[in-house]
Structure 1
Amino acid sequence: MCGTASGKGTVDAMTSTADRRLGSRVDTPAAVPDRPAAGSPAAPGPGRQPSDGSRFRPEIEGLRAVASVLVVVYHVWIGRVSGGVDVFFALTGFLAAGQLVRASERGGIDLLAQWGRTLRRLVPPAAVVLVGTVVASILLLPESRWPQAVREAVASAFFVENWRLAADAVDYYASHDTASVVQHFWSLSIQGQFAIAFPLVVVVATLAARRRGIAARPAVAGLLAVVTAVSLVWSITSTAADQTYAYFDALARVWEFTLGGLLALGLHRLRLPVWAGVAAGWLGIVGLAACGVVLDVEGGFPGYLALWPVACAAAVIVAGDTDHRLGTTRLLASRPMQYLGSISFPLYLWHWPVLLLASAAFHVEQPGPVLGLAIIGTSLMLAAATRHLVEDPVLRRGRRRPGVLRDHRAAAVALVPVLVLVLAWHAVTTVRAEPSGAVGDADHPGALARAPGFVDRGSPDAEPIPPAVSAYEDWVRYRDAGTGCAGVPGLAALELCTYVPAPDPAARTIVVVGDSHMQQFLPAVAPVAHERGWRVQTLIRPGCPLSTTAESNPGEADCITWNQEALGALASLRPALVVAQATHDVRQGRTERTPPGMVEAWNRLASAGVPVLGVRDNPRFGYAPPSCVDTYGRGAPECDVPRSDLYPADPAPPGGAPSTMTVLDLSDSICEPTVCPPEIGRVMVYLDDNHLTATFTASLAPVVGPRIAALVGP
């Protein structure tokens, strides 16, 4: 993938290790012979045309090296990603299709044996990396990031990390300060899912072909063509609709594998002149190297943009090993490139946790030249050790003692230490997550500590709540409260949820509307509603504050539609009060603003007789304050941001706002007079880089409640 990001990608898992080191060749499912020596009949010679993988392909081994080096260098020094992942997806499909079709033509595919060999190649080195990453994370990773790492380590071990990230709506482009140390296993999970599903596809296509009396190769090619078209269309449409989810969606990536498979099945028909092969090879290499620089794909990947790196890989494959003095083969077939290709799988697995853990240990977001070289050197050494001490012995043992159950058992045994270690880590995390008190007690006044005349009677040594290890989990899950959620008739985009039910059907209703910055505000509203017998309902859509347009992602059609429907629903419901954002995007540099679309929305509600309480936005940081406290300690000045960098001393009221709109400015409760700290009244203010903890928001209730009561009335 090209674009900005935080460490993702993977190396060809299905054909990793033996298949790569034995010459980027996949012959029969039963065995892979030793790599042919230079000059042997199977070795490449001058003027050879590309093959479908039934013989040694040194340029593919070298292409893996190029892709893996680009992935590592882009992640470490550039803060972007190359097209490496997509190259490996395409190579996986290319090699797997050729292998499986040849096997079916020779008699059939033993699915259990095929899956067993894949697991033996893939699981042991991945398990070693997971064990090493967990141990290092316990020692070096801030406790606030432990729960995320625990969850994702389990998901990675079972090849479902991509779905875990999709369900969590993880931002692919998040900073190193919030990214998971095993987040890169998402693509390895897709590789594993493909390794299970693809042999089944080939078997089904082959059986159907035999019944119809046609050859297996055209039948498989036809099915792959259909899958490629469907998956590519889905990738484009789903990326446009929800890029965060589509990024990790295996269905949006299938076309990259199947396009490589189609290339394998049709490559024997391609015959390029030598000069064209030279040009194609260099076009592919240069295009791949430039992908992450030329394309800024944040918010647009995978979609059609992924065609760029896949096409680059195809160009190198089609070029073949021309052996021309100007061709790419001399570079790709060199000893250093062949060795790098042979360790590309463990290199990918190791480089991301080494990068994140080094960044955490040295308190840097992007490593400089010296630290970057140390990270790359460490990753190379760990990759080489994993190959020689883990991959090679496991694969040799599998060849000496073949057996379907032995292969599956070897994979299962390799996972045992991972699961034991992760379960122990989870147990420790659970114990450390227990809070030392409750918000509002003497030791944990939270926002009340900023109230005029407050006298602190608590212990200054009391541990803050929520504990660092559970701060990131301290979030408001409104769907789990109240009486549930339901659609709004005639307004398909909306979901109306009741957060605080009211015993009286005629009770006054408060509707909290907007994005996650309004969702986090619910614990501050709930107490006064419980006390007065009012109802609190929600209209929440992530990334979509109440406006007449899309503020977080300008031009986003779904958000615009949602806002229009929300305004219509509010005009019909006529609640006693709407609570929404009054400002947006508070960051260092005083970027806070009140967009015209928000003002227009308030005026539309005023026309319908609906009053609005506009809440001033809380700050957004370039780091996660809980992690900063974990790193530097409580009260460390490194974690404080000057208040004057975020908020002006005298904020101007929103221009054009109706008289029915009231601003609630909580900046004095969130910040101290000179700084905005991560902890107030021994309560952690933030759970990540821009959201308040539910605990701190609950401590705002004594400030917020009287303001709401004054607006709603008795």
Structure 2
Amino acid sequence: MSLLPRTDRLPPSTTTPETTPRTGHHRYRPELQGLRALAAMLVVVYHVWLGRVSGGVDVFFLISGFLVTGQLFRAADRGRIAVRVFWGRLIKRLFPAALTVLAVVMAISVVFLPENRWFQTIREIVASALYLENWQLATDSVDYYAQNQTASVVQHFWSLSIQGQFYVVWPVLVASVVVIARMTRQHLRFTLFVVLLALFVASLLHSIWLTTANQPLAYFHSLTRVWEFAFGGLLALGITSIAPSRALRIVLGWIGVVGLVSCGIVLHVGSLFPGYLALWPVTAAALILLAGQTASPLGADRLLSSRPMRYLGDLSYSLYLWHWPVLVFYLVVRDRTQVGILGGLGVITLSLLLSMLTYHFVEEPVRRSRIGEGNRWGAYRFGIAVLVPIVAAAVVWKEVSVRKATAYAISMDDPDHPGAMAQVEGFEYWGAPDPPLLPPLVALPTDWSAITPHTCYRSTRNKDLEVCSSVTDDAPARRLVLVGDSHVHQYAAALGPVARHRNWQLTLMNRGSCPFSTNSETVIGDKACKDWNSAAVKEIVDLRPDAVVTLASRNVRIGLTEETPVGFVEQWRALEQAGIPVLAIRDNPRYNHSPSVCANTHGRNTPQCNIPRAEIIPEVPSYASLDATPSNVSFLDFSNYFCTPEICPPVIGNILVYMDDNHITATFMTTMSAVVEKAVHAALGWELVDQPAS
């Protein structure tokens, strides 16, 4: 949301508000600033206290479409659209405040933000500076291994990015329509209206479809939001032709205000938008614009046009920029998941103060300056001059983080970091007292299990089924397939050293949030997951491995929620018919927080980070109650290596166990190699000295 700062403002000599009832024919709209203020405060209040999305961002998209389309149409009607000048002015208006916030956020993040969030923050700061944050978040929304990341301090730049893209494309679009209208000798207003109407319909239909198919992706996708800008453009072109009575305009204004305020309460905006339900806040805002100036003490415009609301509208851009990082840093510093009444008031007050300082000492001085006026490319040079330092600082921060994240190695005989081996009966620790924990916190988000080196191919049965196998020097002595979701993928780190030593081949068939089952267990009704599993079992039968490793159970959420779905057993039976053994591993516990971050914040032995085992691991595994178990299945339970008999600690053998709230670090899994190797041999009846690699 680029709450474009006062694009509706004419030169100072012509900005005196008019008081006539009709507003369609004049360009300064004092109630529009109040609408900005209302939308901005809704965004802030909903974020701070309700933890929900308000629909205010959609209002800003409509306003931008309304203002920019009107501005470009009037320019075209006068003769031509000065695209270069238009973009140059936007750079002066948008860059100073946005890049100031990014610079401050980056500096504070280095000091206060947990290191495991550094890489995410760096990536998103660069994306935000380049107005690509929505695409970064869209990528993460379909990348399972990025979904576990905590909300970043700049993720609110997604809406600014969409608007930045709009400001680049819209002048070119309108200029193209001008050319078409002149070539076809059609009236410009009519031609532009038809084009915008087509965009509105096409984008809205696409938004409805994608929201149904993949809502997280749809929420950040630029094309699902085009219709909101087009709606504003249609309103700008048609508002002069609409002349409701004063009484009706009073009613329309208050309907719009009430509709806008109630939107986020009535609708689950964050999980249902931007499909057809986004018409609610957009239409509410359109009604307010249609109502315009009523010159009535009963009109909503009396409130929206008041001096405080207009001033808050001036601050809305900076307020939006500041409120989110202030909120996130408050939660981080106070180690909380939500704010109370007083904390929320503090967040809002500080955000307002920062927005006032930014508006008066950054936004306005640059906007009023002669930057870019003495040279046709001056504004662009200014933009590069302020953008490059931000990106350069982020690159330096990333380089430092990478070096810190890779400056360690895990050794199987490291006396300071025994990891899972510390849970073996009779273990005696003889390393240094309190050595540094591994992996370093900055490396935590990337500490995924992997098999290297490997080769991959796409299955002909399903384009989403990627089959990756480790490379062996000779014909492999054994072949194991790991199939299912990320909780099976974890064991690649434990089996990797075994495979290299024993000359085994590991083949990985992995799909995030899609356990090996005949049903879709994580997302009910996910046909893509079900089809993937159907193809995977056929691929395994063709490969005929010596054994298949998969999950025996799944923990749906924190607590005693372990289950063994019927679909799991049905897949095991399919492999039984093919004569393929199955090693079914009990799922590890889930938490409602990151145990590793807790240990880093409060200390490795702090009681508040130790969850009682009885609260998250049932004494009897769920698969023990199955009526009939296929003969080819052997169950493996490594719970005693993730937990002691009494607690499940975040640190075992000086190694962080969890990379987030439910995935085991590859570092800890690597220390389980000897344990897993012994369990696999015992379950399958293989000799422990079976064909070691030379």
TM above 0.5, yes or no, is yes
* Structure 2: distance between partners of 1:359 and 1:210: 56
* Structure 1: distance between partners of 2:649 and 2:638: 14
Residue of structure 2 aligned with 1:191, choices 152, 158, 163: 163
Where 2:562 maps in the other structure, the secondary structure is coil
Residue of structure 2 aligned with 1:260, choices 232, 235, 240: 232
* Structure 1: distance between partners of 2:142 and 2:50: 21
User: What residue identity is the alignment partner of 2:513?
Assistant: G
Structure 1 contact 18–121 (Cα < 8 Å) conserved: no
Residue of structure 1 aligned with 2:79, choices 101, 107, 120: 107
Residue of structure 1 aligned with 2:18, choices 20, 34, 44: 44
Structure 1 contact 497–539 (Cα < 8 Å) conserved: yes
Task: Summarize the Cα distance change of 1:683–1:176 in structure 2 as closer, same or farther, 3 Å threshold.
Answer: closer
Task: Summarize the Cα distance change of 1:35–1:150 in structure 2 as closer, same or farther, 3 Å threshold.
Answer: farther
Structure 2 contact 562–618 (Cα < 8 Å) conserved: no
Structure 1 contact 567–601 (Cα < 8 Å) conserved: yes
Q: How do residues 502-541 of structure 1 correspond to structure 2 at under 5 angstroms?
A: 502-503=472-473, 508-541=478-511
Instruction: Report the equivalent of 2:558.
Output: 588
Structure 1 contact 232–252 (Cα < 8 Å) conserved: yes
Once the two structures are superposed, what CA deviation does each residue of 1:94-131 show, in whole Å capped at 9, x if it has no partner? 11111111111111112221111111111110111011
Residue of structure 2 aligned with 1:552, choices 509, 517, 522: 522
Kindly state the Cα deviation for residue 364 of structure 1 after the two structures are TM-superposed: 0.9
Task: Summarize the Cα distance change of 1:643–1:197 in structure 2 as closer, same or farther, 3 Å threshold.
Answer: same
Kindly state the Cα deviation for residue 260 of structure 1 after the two structures are TM-superposed: 1.6
Kindly state the Cα deviation for residue 546 of structure 1 after the two structures are TM-superposed: 1.4
User: What residue identity is the alignment partner of 2:12?
Assistant: D
Where 1:357 maps in the other structure, the secondary structure is helix
* Structure 2: distance between partners of 1:542 and 1:647: 23
Q: How do residues 573-612 of structure 1 correspond to structure 2 at under 5 angstroms?
A: 573-585=543-555, 587-612=557-582
1:497 to 2:493 alignment: no
Where 1:187 maps in the other structure, the secondary structure is helix
Q: Give 5+ residue unaligned stretches, structure 2.
A: none
Q: How do residues 277-288 of structure 1 correspond to structure 2 at under 5 angstroms?
A: 277-288=249-260
1:409 to 2:381 alignment: yes
* Structure 1: distance between partners of 2:270 and 2:519: 21
Q: How do residues 193-342 of structure 1 correspond to structure 2 at under 5 angstroms?
A: 193-342=165-314
User: What residue identity is the alignment partner of 2:430?
Assistant: R
TM-score between both structures, scaled by the size of structure 1: 0.90
Instruction: Report the equivalent of 1:484.
Output: 455
Once the two structures are superposed, what CA deviation does each residue of 1:245-270 show, in whole Å capped at 9, x if it has no partner? 22222122222212221221122222
* Structure 2: distance between partners of 1:245 and 1:613: 35
Where 1:634 maps in the other structure, the secondary structure is coil
* Structure 2: distance between partners of 1:176 and 1:328: 43
Structure 2 contact 455–471 (Cα < 8 Å) conserved: no
Residue of structure 2 aligned with 1:154, choices 126, 149, 164: 126
* Structure 1: distance between partners of 2:529 and 2:439: 33
Instruction: Report the equivalent of 1:350.
Output: 322
Kindly state the Cα deviation for residue 470 of structure 1 after the two structures are TM-superposed: 1.5
Structure 2 contact 517–570 (Cα < 8 Å) conserved: yes
Deviates further, 376-385 or 394-403:
394-403
Q: How do residues 44-63 of structure 1 correspond to structure 2 at under 5 angstroms?
A: 44-50=18-24, 55-63=27-35
* Structure 2: distance between partners of 1:246 and 1:505: 46
Task: Summarize the Cα distance change of 1:312–1:476 in structure 2 as closer, same or farther, 3 Å threshold.
Answer: farther
Structure 1 contact 176–356 (Cα < 8 Å) conserved: no
1:17 to 2:11 alignment: no
Structure 2 contact 459–465 (Cα < 8 Å) conserved: yes
Where 2:209 maps in the other structure, the secondary structure is helix
Once the two structures are superposed, what CA deviation does each residue of 1:659-700 show, in whole Å capped at 9, x if it has no partner? 222222111111222222222111111122222211112122
Deviates further, 192-201 or 385-394:
192-201
1:456 to 2:429 alignment: yes
User: What residue identity is the alignment partner of 1:536?
Assistant: L
Once the two structures are superposed, what CA deviation does each residue of 1:552-608 show, in whole Å capped at 9, x if it has no partner? 111222222222222333333332222222221254331222222222222233233
Instruction: Report the equivalent of 1:4.
Output: none
Residue of structure 2 aligned with 1:140, choices 112, 115, 119: 112
Structure 2 contact 115–442 (Cα < 8 Å) conserved: yes
Residue of structure 2 aligned with 1:665, choices 613, 618, 637: 637
Instruction: Report the equivalent of 1:34.
Output: 12
Instruction: Report the equivalent of 2:676.
Output: 704
1:76 to 2:48 alignment: yes
Count of residue pairs brought into register by the alignment: 682
Kindly state the Cα deviation for residue 335 of structure 1 after the two structures are TM-superposed: 1.5
Deviates further, 242-251 or 125-134:
242-251
Once the two structures are superposed, what CA deviation does each residue of 1:404-452 show, in whole Å capped at 9, x if it has no partner? 3221122222224423432343343234324444242111111111111
Residue of structure 1 aligned with 2:397, choices 425, 443, 447: 425
User: What residue identity is the alignment partner of 1:444?
Assistant: H
Structure 1 contact 590–645 (Cα < 8 Å) conserved: yes
Instruction: Report the equivalent of 1:5.
Output: none
Kindly state the Cα deviation for residue 654 of structure 1 after the two structures are TM-superposed: 4.9
Where 1:536 maps in the other structure, the secondary structure is strand
Instruction: Report the equivalent of 1:688.
Output: 660
Where 1:614 maps in the other structure, the secondary structure is strand
User: What residue identity is the alignment partner of 2:56?
Assistant: G
* Structure 1: distance between partners of 2:250 and 2:496: 69
Structure 1 contact 61–332 (Cα < 8 Å) conserved: yes
TM-score between both structures, scaled by the size of structure 2: 0.93
* Structure 2: distance between partners of 1:547 and 1:522: 20
* Structure 2: distance between partners of 1:243 and 1:400: 41
* Structure 2: distance between partners of 1:356 and 1:474: 24
Where 2:137 maps in the other structure, the secondary structure is helix
Where 1:152 maps in the other structure, the secondary structure is helix
Instruction: Report the equivalent of 1:124.
Output: 96
Where 1:525 maps in the other structure, the secondary structure is helix
* Structure 2: distance between partners of 1:543 and 1:437: 30
RMSD (Å), alpha carbons: 2.4
Instruction: Report the equivalent of 2:438.
Output: 465
Residue of structure 2 aligned with 1:395, choices 367, 374, 389: 367
Deviates further, 425-434 or 136-145:
425-434
Structure 1 contact 497–537 (Cα < 8 Å) conserved: yes
Deviates further, 514-523 or 383-392:
514-523
Task: Summarize the Cα distance change of 1:439–1:344 in structure 2 as closer, same or farther, 3 Å threshold.
Answer: farther
Task: Summarize the Cα distance change of 1:557–1:169 in structure 2 as closer, same or farther, 3 Å threshold.
Answer: same
* Structure 2: distance between partners of 1:279 and 1:217: 29
* Structure 2: distance between partners of 1:572 and 1:268: 69
* Structure 2: distance between partners of 1:264 and 1:270: 11
* Structure 1: distance between partners of 2:504 and 2:567: 29
Instruction: Report the equivalent of 1:6.
Output: none
Instruction: Report the equivalent of 1:29.
Output: none
Task: Summarize the Cα distance change of 1:511–1:341 in structure 2 as closer, same or farther, 3 Å threshold.
Answer: same
Once the two structures are superposed, what CA deviation does each residue of 1:212-237 show, in whole Å capped at 9, x if it has no partner? 11222222222222222222222222
Structure 2 contact 513–522 (Cα < 8 Å) conserved: yes
User: What residue identity is the alignment partner of 1:547?
Assistant: S
